[in-house]
């Protein structure tokens, strides 16, 4: 599975928003190869449970965790399986997810790719249900979505009393339309602050992008 620029941006944005808050434990739903968990671990001293349903991806995440600077302190825990069958009594300060994107688009003949890119294993309604189940009353939930599907997701979340706190709309350049939404939710209150970020300005990364990613990218 490739590491996408928008996923890196999302991980950096979440870590930036949560740094300095009292985040003791994190749940990463659909961790893939562990990118979000590793980025959050770099900025936040928390225990992270990373759940992944695809066995191959979970094994890769496990290996990535072992190779990280956090392997010896036991802060990163890979959980192989379906989050709907998660057996834990833990309530989390932060839940993050970069869920399947394409609900009704044509599917690949590759079943692993289907799990990675399509809402066939966990619908948005089911994702929100799991978040509400495991999120602390004063916790936060962050999710990366296609811009076109964000309003539907916000409505789904609000029906379960999960309220939009902040959203960052992502463009490829200032001239392009928004193509991703990075959303931050809270059980306790609604602020609905909205801002935008462009990945590039001309043929270079934009200053806001560099500011967020400079601690993660080797070359910017």
Instruction: Give kind and range of the element (H or E) at residue 135.
Output: strand 135-146
φ and ψ at residue 168, rounded to 5 degrees: -120, 120
Distance of CA 119 to the CA centre of its chain: 15
Query: Comparing C-alpha atoms, which of 64, 94, 88 is closest to residue 78?
Result: 64
Which domains, and CATH codes, for the chain? 5-30+91-213 (3.40.50.150)
* Residues of the chain falling short of pLDDT 70: 1-2, 100-121
Structure confidence at residue 119 (pLDDT)? 38
Strand-pair partners of 108:
none
Counting every residue, how long is the chain? 220
| C-alpha R_g of the chain | 16
Query: pTM of the predicted model, to two decimals?
Result: 0.89
Distance CA 22, CA 17 (A): 12
């Amino acid at each position: 599975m490739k590491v996408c620029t928008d996923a890196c941006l999302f991980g950096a944005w979440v870590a930036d928003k949560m740094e300095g808050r009292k985040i003791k434990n994190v749940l990463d739903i659909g961790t893939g190869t562990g990118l979000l968990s590793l980025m959050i671990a770099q900025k936040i001293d928390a225990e992270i449970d990373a759940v992944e349903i695809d066995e191959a991806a979970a094994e890769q995440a496990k290996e990535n965790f072992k190779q990280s600077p956090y392997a010896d302190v036991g802060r990163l825990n890979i959980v192989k399986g379906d989050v709907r069958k998660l057996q834990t009594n833990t309530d989390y300060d932060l839940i993050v997810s970069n869920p399947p994107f394409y609900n009704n688009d044509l599917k690949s003949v590759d079943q692993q790719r289907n799990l990675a890119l399509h809402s066939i294993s966990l619908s948005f309604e089911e994702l929100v249900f799991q978040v509400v189940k495991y999120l602390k009353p004063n916790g936060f939930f962050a999710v990366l979505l296609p811009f076109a599907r964000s309003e539907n997701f916000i409505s789904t979340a609000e029906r379960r009393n999960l309220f939009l706190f902040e959203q960052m709309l992502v463009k490829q350049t200032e001239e392009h339309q928004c193509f991703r939404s990075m959303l931050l939710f809270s059980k306790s209150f609604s602020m609905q602050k909205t801002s935008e970020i462009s990945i590039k300005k001309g043929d270079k990364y934009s200053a806001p992008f560099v500011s967020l990613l400079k601690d993660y990218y080797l070359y910017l």
